[in-house]
Amino acid sequence: MLISAIHHSRIAIIIFSTNYADSKWCLQELVEILKCNKMYRHHGHMLIPIFYNVEPSEVRNQSGKFGEGFNRSQAKDQTEKEAWRVALREAGTISSWHVDHDARDEAEFIGLVVDHLSKKVFFLRSPYFTKNAVGLDHNVGHLISMLNIEKDDVRMVGIYGMEGLDT
């Protein structure tokens, strides 16, 4: 059921903490989330890693306290353990949010994440974005990445061509 929910989600937020790698369930879910992100990223799927009191390099390299937890995690075989390792390496390289306990108020940080997501979701659901966009689904993700919509400056795009069929 959880795997189905992962596949049907448009947004995946992964919160890496020092104890994250102790959980085989978290590691299995991470592998699924990254699979979905590869399949659907050009269709509006968003992946947002948050590193909470752990450095991205510790996740990427399975080092420090994070690495100790990873070494304790119980995989059913070496293939599964290697899949987790590859997923952690990949996740540690994705553009992300990072918060230290002392860095800022957690409520403020959560507010920033929610604001960021709200802007992205609003843009993707805008009727101006999808109206009459027949046959453009495969290019939408590329266009969004080019727009760099998380920036606060002004962007404008014009699309010229024949209007598609309105169904």
- At 83, is the pLDDT very low, low, confident or very high (cuts 50, 70, 90)? very high
Q: Of 49, 52, 50, nearest to 103 (Cα)?
A: 52
Based on its alpha-carbon atoms, the radius of gyration of the chain, rounded to whole angstroms, reads: 19
The predicted model gives 77-88 an average pLDDT of 94
Query: Is residue 58 annotated as a catalytic residue, yes or no?
Result: no
- The pLDDT tens digits for 17-46 are 999 999 999 999 999 999 988 887 777 778
Among the listed residues 29, 68, 108, 150, the single catalytic one is: 29
**Of 5-14, 47-56, 64-73, 127-136, which gets the smallest average pLDDT?**
127-136
The predicted model gives 1-11 an average pLDDT of 80
Question: Could you tell me the residue ranges of all domains in the chain?
Answer: 2-130
Sorted by sequence, the CB contacts under 8 Å of residue 88 that are 6+ apart come out as 21, 27, 30, 59, 60, 62, 70
> Counting Cβ atoms within 10 Å, is residue 17 exposed (0-12), middle (13-18) or buried (19+)?
middle
- At 126, is the pLDDT very low, low, confident or very high (cuts 50, 70, 90)? low
pTM passes above 0.75: no
Instruction: Tell me what pLDDT residue 128 has.
Output: 47
**Which amino acid, one-letter code, is at 148?**
N
- The pLDDT tens digits for 91-109 are 999 888 877 765 557 778 7
Residue 74, SS3 per DSSP: coil
Residue 31 backbone phi and psi in degrees, to 5: -60, -45
Instruction: Tell me what pLDDT residue 40 has.
Output: 79
- Domain 2-130's class? alpha beta
Looking at the DSSP assignment, which residues form a beta bridge with residue 49? Answer: 14
CB burial of 72-87 (b: ≥16 within 10 Å; e: otherwise) equals: ebeeeeeebbebbeeb
Give, in order, the Cα–Cα distances in Å from 91 to each of 39, 77, 132: 15, 21, 35
